[in-house]
Amino acid sequence: MPTGNPDGAMNNATYRTKYLIQKRQYALSYNDDTHEANWVSWSYTSEDTGSQSRTDAWATEELLPSGYLKISTATFGTGWDRGHMCPSADRTTDYTDNAMTFRMSNMIPQTSNNNQGLWANFETYTRALAAGGNEVLIITGPGAFTGKTIANGMWIPGVVWKIAVVVPSASSTTPANQRLTTSARVIAIITPTSQRRKA
């Protein structure tokens, strides 16, 4: 968890609103009330980019405890994308790395205009930063819930937020948190996920 554990999530089934799942590809705090992650965190460097194409290996989250709602791989319905938190394109070294980004615990209901627009553009920008020799520490999640759900029970967020910390010298063997200085660039965005109204 390169950006820490902001809500004190634990790998303990009694922590139903902040259950910690740690994978090699990313870590997340899962909320069994909203049925999606509170946050997803990962580190990205140019070494995370390979030749693996998008797998579309949609799957339920096998690491959730018994008794938790395991969201199915069905589409989210008209107007909503299965929006990645850790992007597919950030994990392309091999099949497993990419497939893990298609676990439903890594998805939120996201409007197409946001997911495929500004959000996708920012993901591309962080990859460009990594290509320039940086390590980018990223944490992202949903917020400002509307009180509504989509058909599978996932809560609809009003916003999606992301924080990216740009750490130079990605090739260094020193961990990124030990290379951080007060001059490190921090980028924070928050974007609305409300659907556009038709004229």
CATH of the domain at 183: 3.40.570.10
Quote the tokens at residue 118. Answer: 């500004």
pLDDT of res. 120: 94
Q: Looking at the domain assignment, is residue 4 inside a domain?
A: no
Structural domain tally of the chain? Answer: 1
Q: Looking at the domain assignment, is residue 8 inside a domain?
A: no
Q: What is the DSSP letter of 95?
A: H
Quote the tokens at residue 39. Answer: 């946050």
Quote the CA–CA distance of 194 and 33 in Å, as a whole number: 21
Instruction: Note down the domain range covering 147.
Output: 19-192
From the candidates 18, 35, 82, 84, which is the catalytic residue? 84
pLDDT of res. 198: 43
Quote the tokens at residue 40. Answer: 């997803």
pLDDT of res. 70: 96
Q: Looking at the domain assignment, is residue 11 inside a domain?
A: no
pLDDT in tens, 3-30: 899 999 999 999 999 999 999 999 999 9
Specify whether 35 is catalytic.
Answer: no
pLDDT in tens, 97-142: 999 999 999 999 999 989 999 999 999 999 999 999 999 999 999 9
pLDDT of res. 87: 98
Q: Looking at the domain assignment, is residue 2 inside a domain?
A: no
The phi, psi pair for 118, rounded to 5°, reads -55, -40
The amino acid occupying position 56 is: D
Q: Is residue 105 within 8 Å of residue 70, measured between CB atoms? A: no
Q: Looking at the domain assignment, is residue 153 inside a domain?
A: yes
Q: Looking at the domain assignment, is residue 5 inside a domain?
A: no
Q: Looking at the domain assignment, is residue 76 inside a domain?
A: yes
Q: Comparing C-alpha atoms, which of 27, 25, 24, 36 is closest to residue 3?
A: 27
Q: Looking at the domain assignment, is residue 13 inside a domain?
A: no
